Structure 1
Amino acid sequence: MALIDIEIPRWSIDLIYGNTGSGKSFFTGWLIEQAYEQGRRFIILDTKVKNHIGLVALKGVKLLKIKPNVRYDFSKLVNYDQLLVIPTKGLISKIGVDGLIEYYYKPILNELFKKDRDKIIVVEEAHRYNPSSRTAGKELEQLFREGRDAKLYTIAITQSIADFPKLLFRQAQRHFIFKHYIPNDLFYLSKMIPDFEELNNQLRQHDVLEFNPKSMSYRIIRREYIIRRTRHYG
């Protein structure tokens, strides 16, 4: 049981962002553990080999390793209730993260959007799905704008929030924010979130600011309360 209440709604758009090493993936895994305890369906599209691999210790969570030179029928992924998708080192060395997203993960998102229902979709390095900081990628935009009808709950994670399109930023129901240090990100967030500089100063490393833009409410989740039941390798 978690030491702090965290809502896992039937539908939401959550943004999780912070600088590299801030604790985003650890926190995301903690959210997924809460979802798992509630019997929720989810798919995680990871861009690293071991980032979320600890979650396969949860009974029933399936693992799909994307390998080079293998053809996949992604329409079958809707049959899995709890799935972690990761690249192999060979695939990343061959086509890179951008190739992984373009040739594998974007088609997966399209299949999920067309055929799946009532699922949490975790998208790592979400900034890479967009053509530019001003233009949203088609796959994320359709999930953010139209996922509610299918109860496709999107969790988008990025370490480059200043490169994330404002169109998508403003669609999010919840923001989970880690302490920021990069001036460009601080400038961006100070424009988007009231009193962000003061709130950021209250955060320690690995603390999380939960911000609701609709109600303009927030709380700080201290790192002591984010306790994982599975091992984190990120």
Structure 2
Amino acid sequence: MARTGKLDAVYNCKDTGSGAFSTDWAVQDVERGVLKGINPHPWQTDTSNGDWFFNRTDTYKTTDEVVAMLADVVSKNGNLLLNVVMRGDGSLPAESDRLLADLAPWMAANGEAIHGTRPWKIYGEGPTTAVAGAFAEKTSYTPQDIRFTTKGETLYAITLGTPRGQTVITSLAQPNPHERRRVRGCACSASPAASRSARPGRPWSSICLRPCRRVTRAPSRSTSPDEKYRTCTLCASIEYELGEAI
């Protein structure tokens, strides 16, 4: 601030109920946890793929768990600050090395659905509800749990589990209170687990961004609960280009 005359710093603070936190001047930090729903103010989760330091007896998060938490946090207007465990000499344990190796191709394929995005009208859908608050990050998601982000006129849907068969997005069924425009098309990318099962021993990027041409739509006048959008298998990030209003 002394150099530029501008305040470029961000102050993060935990809301413990002590009165030390205020949205007027601080960004809420939730250690090893998430918030419930879309927060109107930017916030942050800080967590680690294991302990905060190298611990021989500790357990580590899988890549799928880290990706699911990232998508959940971003869909709710948050940022994810991820600590990656290192040994005292700066080398990486196998679990941390695997995580970074896994995240690189996932981000190459799906980073557009994360970076520079904003929350949609709802953060997501699905049967699983994460417990809100600090130190409550042990949530087991399913392929039916989906998180939404937006960028411009593009809507992204990220599944929090590896799809088996078709992925159904009920929030885009017509009529719905969120979006009147029809889905015009989609492009799909593979999740880490889906890529491993589909192409054993090969880079995930080999099936990233493949076209999705198996989108079907129920009649617009139907009120059947089966009226849903369906997408192809092996989808982790589904990009919908919205057409004209119905």
Is the shorter-chain TM-score for this pair beyond 0.5, marking a shared fold?
no
Whichever of the two has the greater Rg, that structure is 2
Bigger relative contact order, structure 1 or 2, given CA contacts below 8 A and separation 6+? 1
TM-score tier by shorter-chain length is under 0.3
Which protein has the bigger strand share?
Answer: 2
